[in-house]
């Protein structure tokens, strides 16, 4: 008689091990890594836990990705086209609402953790920076370029930096009132504050979708 199957970190049962093709194994490992890195961070996530969550032999990580750091880079850079949390943003209000909502619900994700930590390996930090620019900075730049704004890239980078600071400060409890007020109040204030910098419209889209974090 065999005992119950082990449950990986977080209390979520692993996918059952099964024969599968290489593409399916790689996809399942990548998705498991995204979940665990987002919840536990890079250092606390182990190769064994990723394999258990995916229902795949953890030794395949080395075959498909290389090292744990290589897998992290793949996880933060991956574009999952069927994931509804990766929309095309529709201006500043959409970006602010998505970032605040996502970090409120799930905490800082792998990208924000990679940027905030001082011990992040260079290759992971670079992948996170590229992702952040593509997901958040570039849409703002494109909108400002269309309006003929001066120094659009600098304005967009300042706006995104301020937004990340607000999201992290709220999530990590840096300030009492910032963490206590409802999310929609924070969103309205941040959009109002950044509108003058970016020239964006202040109307919200009403979408609660995922950010780059």
Task: Tell me the domains of the chain and their CATH numbers.
Answer: 22-77 (1.10.10.60), 92-198 (no CATH)
Per-residue pLDDT at 21 exceeds 90: no
Cα 152-133-168 angle, rounded to 5 deg:
105
Average pLDDT on 9-23 reads 56
**pLDDT for the residue numbered 190:** 95
Please give the Cα distance from 188 to 193 (Å, whole number): 9
Question: Worst-scoring range by mean pLDDT, 58-72, 109-123, 153-167?
Answer: 109-123
Placement of tokens 């987002």 in the chain: 38
The tokens describing 108, both together, are 């800082």
The CA distance from 94 to 91, in Å, is 6
Please compute the mean of the pLDDT values over residues 32-37 and round it to a whole number.
Answer: 90
User: Over the chain, what is the mean pLDDT?
Assistant: 79
Q: Which of 8-12, 135-139, 162-166 has the highest mean pLDDT?
A: 162-166
Q: What is the DSSP letter of 181?
A: S
Q: Is the pLDDT of residue 210 over 90?
A: no
User: Exposed, middle or buried, 146 (CB in 10 Å: 0-12/13-18/19+)?
Assistant: exposed
CB 72 within 8 A of CB 31: no
Range with lowest mean pLDDT among 51-65, 116-130, 132-146, 171-185? 116-130
Query: What span, in angstroms and rounded, lies between the C-alpha atoms of 80 and 76?
Result: 11
Q: Alpha-carbon distance 158 to 178, whole Å?
A: 20
Which residue reads 């996880």 in tokens? 75
- What per-residue confidence (pLDDT) applies to 178? 95
């Amino acid at each position: 008689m065999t005992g119950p199957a082990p449950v990986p970190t977080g209390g979520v049962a692993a996918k059952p091990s099964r024969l599968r093709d290489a593409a399916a194994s790689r996809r399942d490992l990548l998705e498991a890594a995204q979940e665990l890195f987002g919840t536990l961070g890079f250092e606390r996530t182990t190769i064994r836990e990723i394999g258990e969550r995916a229902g795949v032999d953890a030794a395949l990580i080395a075959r498909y990705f290389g090292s744990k750091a290589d897998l992290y880079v793949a996880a933060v850079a991956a574009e999952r086209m069927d994931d509804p949390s990766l929309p095309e943003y529709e201006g500043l209000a959409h970006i602010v609402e998505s970032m605040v909502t996502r970090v409120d619900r799930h905490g800082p994700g792998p990208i924000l953790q990679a940027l905030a930590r001082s011990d992040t390996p260079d290759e992971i930090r670079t992948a996170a920076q590229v992702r952040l620019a593509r997901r958040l900075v570039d849409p703002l730049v494109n909108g400002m370029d269309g309006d003929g704004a001066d120094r659009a890239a600098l304005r967009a980078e300042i706006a995104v930096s301020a937004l990340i600071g607000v999201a992290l400060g709220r999530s990590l409890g840096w300030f009492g009132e910032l963490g206590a007020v409802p999310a929609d109040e924070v969103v309205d204030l941040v959009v109002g504050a950044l509108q003058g910098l970016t020239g964006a419209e202040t109307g919200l889209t009403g979408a609660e979708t995922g950010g780059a974090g």
